[in-house]
Amino acid sequence: MKHTLSPQRYLILLAVMLTASIGDTLLSHGMKQVGPVSVAHLGMLLAAIKNPWVITGILCLLGFFASYLTALSWADLTFVLPATAFGYVVVALLSKFWLHETVSLDRWAGIILIVCGVGFVANGPSLTQHPPLENPADATMSGAQ
Partner 1 sequence: MIAAAPIQTSVFETWATIVTVAATAVAGDVLTAGAMRRIGDLDLIRAHSGLGGAIRAVVSSPMFLLGVVSMALSFFSLLFTLSNVEVSLAAPASASLTFLGNAFAARLFLKENVDRRRWLAALFVCAGVFLLSK
The site for partner 1 (CB under 8 A) is made up of 69-70, 72-74, 76-82, 85, 88-89, 92, 104, 106-107, 109-114, 116-118, 120-121, 123-125, 128, 130, 135, 137-138, 141
- Listed in sequence order, the residues at least 6 apart from 116 whose beta carbon sits closer than 8 Å to its beta carbon are none
Q: Select 63 or 117, whichever has its Cβ closest to partner 1.
A: 117
Q: C-beta of 79: minimal distance to partner 1 in Å?
A: 8
Taking CA 139 as the corner, what is the angle to CA 129 and CA 14, rounded to the nearest 5 degrees?
A: 85
Q: C-beta of 115: minimal distance to partner 1 in Å?
A: 8
User: Around 20, how many Cα atoms within 13 Å sit in the side-chain half-sphere?
Assistant: 20
Q: C-beta of 55: minimal distance to partner 1 in Å?
A: 20
Q: Select 98 or 120, whichever has its Cβ closest to partner 1.
A: 120
Contact predicate 12/19, CB 8 Å: no
Q: Select 50 or 130, whichever has its Cβ closest to partner 1.
A: 130
- Listed in sequence order, the residues at least 6 apart from 41 whose beta carbon sits closer than 8 Å to its beta carbon are none
Q: C-beta of 54: minimal distance to partner 1 in Å?
A: 17
Q: C-beta of 11: minimal distance to partner 1 in Å?
A: 12
Angle, helix 77-97 to helix 52-74, in steps of 10 degrees: 150
Query: Count of H helices and E strands in the chain?
Result: 6, 0
